[in-house]
């Protein structure tokens, strides 16, 4: 099977498995796991923040950030298709007790003027604005990159209003490799950042959140409260350390593959591409074929290809560590055959 559903399907490399096996471990709740410490130090360095924390998933990382930055009864501003808003089971209200204030974006970027307009003034009727969340790359708009200027614009006005900014950077390394802007530079315009080790970077488990020392101390406490305190976690941190030391540059390959896939599919007259392919995602429109996205995806399975329907006629294809040049050729060949 050629699995293009998501970059979450990547399997750990042999080097990662070996690293797990040989990892030095200790009790991380006591702060005694050397491999976890190494991973958090490296993440601190890459993000340019004061401290970092290993967490079990991107969702847990984002939610720890929301819990740490906000108080119940506040409001958080985010783009209307943000992962935190659409795909985290309403945890912002279930756990943090805050309400969302979604804003219409353009390829995931919110206009700073709209953000400023949504920041609450002091009024007995109003919730206070507790947090602004950004997402880079933006998943729902097909892996588009938030321009650095946009992040800077929002961050500067957030500072003016004393509202913290969190970056859901699940795929910030994809943004960085594609744009040539360092993760540290992106992170300069946020108070906290979450990134996933377990997507294109290939680790089996985990995410990182980074921020100030005080922020991470509080987030660590929230993680413990929610049952996320870890013991001999070096076993799962070792592949994560390889992910952020050895696997970043190769993301460029995934982006090349997405480009090739998108160009090949666009050359088939019944198909069109909905997104500007900036990183590792292609959003395919199949409306002219006469099939729904769901029907199209079902037929792809017969050709050994897995993809995800994300709208009535939209299909998302994600390239990653497990997809080779040959796979891209095979997919293009199969789709042509299928359409004929
Ligand atoms: C995958 C993803 C997450 C959540 O990560 P999990 O590890 O699946 O919980 C958060 N934000 C974005 C943008 C994502 O793509």
Q: Per-residue confidence of the chain (340 residues) as pLDDT tens digits?
A: 999 999 999 999 999 999 999 999 999 999 999 999 999 999 999 999 999 999 999 999 999 999 999 999 999 999 999 999 999 999 999 999 999 999 999 999 999 999 999 999 999 999 999 999 999 999 999 999 999 999 999 999 999 999 999 999 999 999 999 999 999 999 999 999 999 999 999 999 999 999 999 999 999 999 999 999 999 999 999 999 999 999 999 999 999 999 999 999 999 999 999 999 999 999 999 999 999 999 999 999 999 999 999 999 999 999 999 999 999 999 999 999 999 8
Are 228 and 265 within one domain? no
Domain tally, the chain: 2
Cβ neighbours for 186, distance < 8 A, ≥ 6 positions apart: 136, 148, 151, 167, 169, 172, 175, 176, 193
Query: Do 119 and 28 sit in the same domain of this protein?
Result: yes
60 CA distance to ligand 1 middle (Å): 9
| Gap from CA of 58 to ligand 1 centroid (Å) | 5
Instruction: Give the strand pairing for 272-273 and 75-79.
Output: unpaired
Which atom belonging to ligand 1 lies closest to the Cα atom of 198?
Answer: 7
Q: Using a 6 Å cutoff on CB, does residue 140 contact ligand 1?
A: no
8 A C-beta contact, residue 202 and residue 240: no
Gap from CA of 50 to ligand 1 centroid (Å): 23
Question: Residue 135's pLDDT is what?
Answer: 98
Same domain, 217 and 173: yes
213 plus 255 within the same structural domain: no
Provide the token pair at 152: 């800077």
Within a domain: 38? yes
| Ligand 1 in reach of 139 Cβ (< 6 A) | yes
The last residue of one of the domains, among 194, 217, 246, is 246
| Same domain, yes or no: 224 and 172 | yes
Residues 239 and 258 in one domain: no
Centre of ligand 1 from the C-alpha of residue 134, in Å: 13
Distance from residue 83's CA to the centre of ligand 1 (Å) = 7
Q: Does a structural domain hold residue 94?
A: yes
Peptide bond into 137 cis (omega under 30): yes
Distance CA 324, CA 297 (A): 20
Any domain includes 3: no
Q: What is the pLDDT of residue 66?
A: 98
Provide the pLDDT for residue 270.
96
Whether residues 218 and 289 fall in one domain: no
169 lines ligand 1 (CB under 6 A): no
pTM for the whole thing? 0.97
135 lines ligand 1 (CB under 6 A): yes
Separation in Å, CA 237 to CA 183, 225, 270: 20, 21, 45
Q: Are residues 181 and 269 in the same domain?
A: no
Nearest atom in ligand 1 to 207's CA: 7
Q: How far apart are CA 35 and CA 327, in angstroms?
A: 35
Nearest to 316 by CA among 339, 292, 293, 288: 293
Provide long-range contacts, Cβ within 8 A and 24+ apart, for 270-273.
270/339, 271/335, 271/339
- Could you give the count of Cα atoms lying within 13 Å of 225 in the half-sphere of its Cβ? 12
Pocket test for ligand 1, best of 5, 87, 91, 207 (most atoms within 8 A of CB): 87
Place of tokens 């994560």: 240
> Quick one: 195 and 268 in the same domain?
no
Q: How far is the CA of 61 from the centre of ligand 1 (A)?
A: 9
Q: Please tell me the predicted confidence (pLDDT) of residue 197.
A: 98
Ligand 1 site-directed mutation target among 8, 58, 167, 192, most atoms within 8 Å of CB: 58
For residues 166 and 143, state if they share a domain: yes
- pLDDT for 165: 98
4 domain-assigned: no
Q: How far is the CA of 140 from the centre of ligand 1 (A)?
A: 11
- In eight-state DSSP terms, residue 288 is G
Which of 7, 64, 139 best tests ligand 1's pocket when mutated (most atoms within 8 Å of CB)?
139
DSSP lists the bridge partners of residue 195 as: 208
| Contact 7 CB / ligand 1 (< 6 Å) | no
Distance in angstroms (rounded) separating the CA atoms of residues 300 and 141: 23
In a shared domain, residues 226 and 275: no
Last residue of a domain, one of 224, 246, 268: 246
For residue 285, give the CATH number of its domain. 3.90.1150.10
118, two tokens: 């949504």
Nearest residue to 136 via CA among 104, 173, 188, 191:
173
Q: How far is it, in rounded angstroms, from Cα 140 to Cα 39?
A: 29
Question: Which ligand 1 atom sits nearest the alpha carbon of residue 135?
Answer: 13
Task: Say what the pLDDT of residue 99 is.
Answer: 98
Q: Is 57 in the pocket of ligand 1 (CB under 6 A)?
A: yes
Give distance in angstroms: CA of 170 to centre of ligand 1.
Answer: 6
Q: What is the domain range of residue 295?
A: 250-339
Q: Which residues pair with 193 in a beta bridge?
A: 167, 210
């Amino acid at each position: 099977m050629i699995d293009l559903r998501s970059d979450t399907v990547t399997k750990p490399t042999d080097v990662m498995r070996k690293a797990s096996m040989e990892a030095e471990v200790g009790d991380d709740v006591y702060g005694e796991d050397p491999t976890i410490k190494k991973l958090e130090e490296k993440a601190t360095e890459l993000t340019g923040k004061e401290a970092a924390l290993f967490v079990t998933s991107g969702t847990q990382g984002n939610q720890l950030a929301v819990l740490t930055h906000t108080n119940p009864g506040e409001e958080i501003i985010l783009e209307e298709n943000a992962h935190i808003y659409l795909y985290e089971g309403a945890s912002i209200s279930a756990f943090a007790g805050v309400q969302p204030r979604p804003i219409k974006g353009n390829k995931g970027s919110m206009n700073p003027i709209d953000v400023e307009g949504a920041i609450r003034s002091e009024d007995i009727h109003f919730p206070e604005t507790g947090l602004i969340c950004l997402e880079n790359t933006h998943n729902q708009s097909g892996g588009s990159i938030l321009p650095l200027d946009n992040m800077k614009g929002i961050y500067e006005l957030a500072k003016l209003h004393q509202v913290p900014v969190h970056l859901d950077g699940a795929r910030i390394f994809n943004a960085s490799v594609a744009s040539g802007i360092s993760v540290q530079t992106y992170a300069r315009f946020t108070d906290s950042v979450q990134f996933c080790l377990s997507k294109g970077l290939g680790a089996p488990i985990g995410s990182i959140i980074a921020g100030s020392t005080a922020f991470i101390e509080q987030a660590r406490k929230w993680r413990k409260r929610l049952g996320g305190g870890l013991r001999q976690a070096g076993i799962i941190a070792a592949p994560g350390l390889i992910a952020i030391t050895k696997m970043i540059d190769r993301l460029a390959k995934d982006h090349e593959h997405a480009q090739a896939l998108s160009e090949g599919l666009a050359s088939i007259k019944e198909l069109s591409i909905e997104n500007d392919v900036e990183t590792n995602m292609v959003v395919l429109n199949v409306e002219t074929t006469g099939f729904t996205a769901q029907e199209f995806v079902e037929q792809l399975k017969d050709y050994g290809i897995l993809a995800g329907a994300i709208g009535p006629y939209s299909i998302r294809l994600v390239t990653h560590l497990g997809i080779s040049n040959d796979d891209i050729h095979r997919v293009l060949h199969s789709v042509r055959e299928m359409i004929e």
